[in-house]
Structure 1
Amino acid sequence: MSTQADHGHELIPRPQQTPDALRTALAVVDPARLEEMQATKDEAFAKAVEWQSLSPVQSWVLIWARDIEIARRPDLSTRHARAKADLEHQDSVVAREALRELSAVLDEAMKAVRG
């Protein structure tokens, strides 16, 4: 696992981008999603074989690294939860702002894991 970055408290260090490291990290920060992770991993590996390409597996790793980045950082996790809660707000301005914020959180997490 890598060293902590300078964006505040982190629940765990950023895991390496391997299936085992990501699974271990998810078991700590969001264990309720372990079954979902396994199902999407199985799909990605099946597509990789079918397509004769590693791109589905690479995408799977990046998506889970991003989601774990959000879960391991309370600042991002709070922003993510708040934005998701407001996505279907009856006030369209609030809903649009929530979509913008959700996109910003996902982008920030992806940039962090891509290093």
Structure 2
Amino acid sequence: MTTQPEQGHELVPRPERTPEAARVALARVAPHRLGEMEQHKEQALATAIRDGKIGHLQHWLTHWQVQVEIERRPELHARHHAALAAINETGDRNAPAFRTAMNELHAVESEARQAVSA
């Protein structure tokens, strides 16, 4: 795991870009999501074998690096949770509140993706 701090408080250091490091970090910050991670890994592996493309596994790892980044940074986690709650409460895809919440969700995921790809 790296030890370079980001702005604000972090629950754990950012993990190295390996499946095991991502799993260990997720186990520390969101152990309830380990089953989801494992199921997604099995799907990515099966698709990679079927298609003969490693890109499915690379996408899986990037997805979970982003999820760990969101979970390990309380301010990102709070924004992510609030955006998902607003999306679920709105129900109407045409409502301005829905679009605002979707924009925030994309902004949080983009910030996390940029952080893990730096």
- Verify the 8 A CA contact 1:9 1:74 in the aligned structure 2: yes
Change (3 A) 1:50 1:90: closer
- Shift, 1:6, TM fit: 3.0
Which residue of structure 2 aligns with residue 106 of structure 1?
A: 109
Query: Cα gap change, 1:90/1:13 in structure 2, threshold over 3 Å: closer, same or farther?
Result: same
Amino acid at match of 1:110: R
- 5+ long unaligned stretches in structure 2: none
User: In structure 1, the residue corresponding to 2:90 is in which secondary structure?
Assistant: coil
2:21 match: 21
- The answer as to whether partners of 1:4 and 1:10 remain within 8 angstroms in 2 is no
Matched, 1:93 2:96: yes
Q: Structure 1 CA distance, aligned partners of 2:108 and 2:55?
A: 24
| 4+ aligned runs moved over 6 Å, structure 1 | none
Shift of 1:90: 6.3
Q: Which residue of 1 aligns with 2:81?
A: 81
1-10 vs 71-80, which deviates more?
1-10
Once residues 17 and 44 of structure 2 are traced to their aligned partners in structure 1, the CA distance between those partners, rounded to angstroms, is 15
Name the CA distance, whole Å, in 2 between partners of 1:66 and 1:9.
17
1:38 corresponds to which letter in structure 2? Answer: E
Q: Does 1:11 align with 2:14?
A: no
Letter in 2 for 1:73: R
Indicate the residue corresponding to 2:55 in structure 1: 55
Consecutive unaligned residues of structure 1, counting only runs of 5 or more, are none
The letter of the residue matching 2:9 is H
User: 2 CA distance for matches of 1:60 and 1:72?
Assistant: 18
When normalised by structure 1's length, the TM-score is 0.94
Q: Give, in whole Å, the separation in 2 of the partners of 1:104 and 1:64.
A: 17
SS in 2 for 1:35: helix
